[in-house]
Chains A and B, each alone.
Chain A
Amino acid sequence: MSDGVVRWLAPVAVVIGLAVVGVFLWSGLQRDPHLLPSPLIKQPTPTFNLTRLHNPRKFMSQKIFLGHVTLFNVFASWCYACADEQDELMYISRHSHVRIYGLDYKDNRGEAKKWLHRFGNPYRAIAFDATGRVAIDWGVYGTPETFIIDKHGIIRYKQVGAIDAQVWRQILEPLIQRLRVTG
């Protein structure tokens, strides 16, 4: 390479390199560093077979997700933020066609039933995950967590942390609408 070309090539490469790094750092500022992208998006839901919270002789499996759009919410009576979210879930259960199912995570049956009585029960049915083993299959690391599942049992979105009005209106509601129509 001629000396003239090389003289500006190196500084330009450095500037471009720094610009690329800058773009990554800038976009990172918008995001919570503790939130992990889920590897389950666009995958079929994990398989499971758990007893139901209100009736230990009945079971719930992943087959319950087929044929409709589902909002699958992981909660626990010991989880502070879950109580915050319950109002919003009650609202959703009254104003949306989405089917709400629950996963009661590492909880006590009695405590969970009391909690639902106190904060509201928006769930069509609740699977009782006493050991949390099923939740591990869903990659749960911070309750509450909510999964939006399409009619074919494919996970389309995961929300870590409580759902508020903004999350519902801006993210979940439009997605659920789209999934109902297109499937």
Chain B
Amino acid sequence: MRQEEVLSNSLTETNTGIPSGKLAMWLFLASEVMFFTGLIGAAIVLRSGYYEWPKPGELLHIPLAAFNTFILLSSSMTMAMGVAAAHQRDRKRLRFFLAATILLGTAFLGVKGFEYSQKFAHGYFPGTSLFWDCYFTLTGCHGLHVLAGIITNGWILSLTFRSDFDAQKGHYVEISGLYWHFVDLVWIFLFPFLYLI
């Protein structure tokens, strides 16, 4: 890996030597891990006692979901590259990678929306069965988190057009990046749980 020395903003550092915003985001993500663990854990327990849970591919479209996973993993890459561009104070590349991340995230939600519309057209709604309760709850909560990430990245993209962006707000990209990768992490586990097993 190429080594490049960068300096963090001294105004945001804490006594631990870690920027306060970054530490705060890691703490928030730790709480989000507990949030999704509660949901997924409840789904696991409910599934273990529910004999009518469908087989893989029976009710859900695996290739479409796999393609959606590909989209989200790609958005994680573009987000990481955006963070690197922010550290290098390369605003042009930062804007490109932020825009790409936003577009890919929006595409993920678009595919998810299409999946939902197909389920509704076949008469599957939240409340139809325990499986659909779990499916819509888990993917719905995840989708809301993706939407929040898109809005945040959109706001940061708008900030990149300000003259004081690099000096004052460049670290926002790294903090937002941590959140976006977490959203990807959740889907890395949700996808196999709902679609593959």
Decide whether A and B are members of one complex: no
Interface residues of A (CB under 8 A from B): none
